[in-house]
A and B are shown apart, each in its own frame.
Chain A
């Protein structure tokens, strides 16, 4: 599995930012960033929301990408479940909104 960035950047860069504050996508899009930190794909793990008790897969969380970092919220109560911020040489992972993660592993 190739999970780290490799190679040099294209010489021509992108233009200006365009985003909307209400834009959200699925936790699926966390897969690459979490794979940098964990040995397995955490988006297939399920967790119980601290706020409302709902159980979801990480892939099914509501993901906002416009913050400085990635913010995943519970689809049931909109509470913050997970935050991931990537710096140049480290990452900060805040799992405040989940009581436990159940992670499928190979037997």
Chain B
């Protein structure tokens, strides 16, 4: 049984939930938890949510939830779920979409919207263990106000050696941005990712269509398909799976 300890608003539509989870066994960066909600009439539903935090050892786990209009779980978690409320969790689970600090390969992270969440866990874990593995994050958002963890990313770009962050704005750019808004393309990943001969580990997370586009670009660039790990969360859903 987990309990909500605190909330942090990240953007107008995304909120971080800090959960107290007794006996949390620790987790790997990129793993998720399944969250189950049950209504008074017994109807029950579950969704997967990526873990946002690095393993901490203090029994706390952070999820960041993007509110999805018409979703049945994310609006509850983002708007109704209150401090001290209990929630059923299962996890941590998933051993595929994970970054392990002992892997020396350079890393390319490609995030679409709230797909940043498990990738942020990787960035935080890298800093937490003092890793010098070079990380490059390409983060696509609709508009500047949709950037989750904006302040932390700004700080880490300055302080975490070997971390580069590039932004792609698909609908609206910040003032004075040198390029018009547009979707992620070959040029962006060629400029801000790693060349295939560096054999980087590639992690792509976002809405299904975004993930497919980004993964296709990485394959076209010459990255080995088995080095490209993806996590889709549905057309517009929250992190990991559906609304």
Contact = CB atoms under 8 A, between A and B. Distances in A.
B45 interface: yes
Nearest to B95: A41
Interface in B101-118: none
* From A19, A25, A36, A57, residue with most partner B Cβ within 10 Å: A25
Interface of B: 1-2, 21, 23-25, 32-34, 36-41, 43-45, 48, 70-73, 75-76, 80-81, 85-97, 208, 229-235, 237, 240-243
B72 A18 contact: yes
B94 A1 contact: no
Interface of A: 1-20, 23-29, 31-33, 35-36, 41, 43-44, 57-60, 65
B24 to A, nearest CB: 7
B90 A4 contact: yes
A43 B1 CA distance: 25
B23 A26 contact: no
Contact of B48 (A2, A18, A29, A36): A29
Contacts, number: 142
A1 B25 contact: yes
Given A9-B37, A13-B37, A23-B242, 19 more contacts: A1-B92, A5-B36, A6-B88, A7-B1, A8-B86, A10-B38, A15-B72, A15-B75, A23-B208, A23-B234, A23-B235, A25-B242, A26-B97, A26-B230, A27-B96, A28-B32, A31-B96, A32-B33, A43-B94
Tell me the interface secondary structure of chain A in the complex.
loop
10 contacts: A3-B93, A7-B88, A9-B44, A13-B38, A13-B41, A16-B72, A23-B208, A25-B232, A26-B232, A27-B96
B167 to A, nearest CB: 25
A9 B80 CA distance: 14
Nearest to B234: A23
Given A14-B76, A23-B242, A28-B94, A5 B88 contact: yes
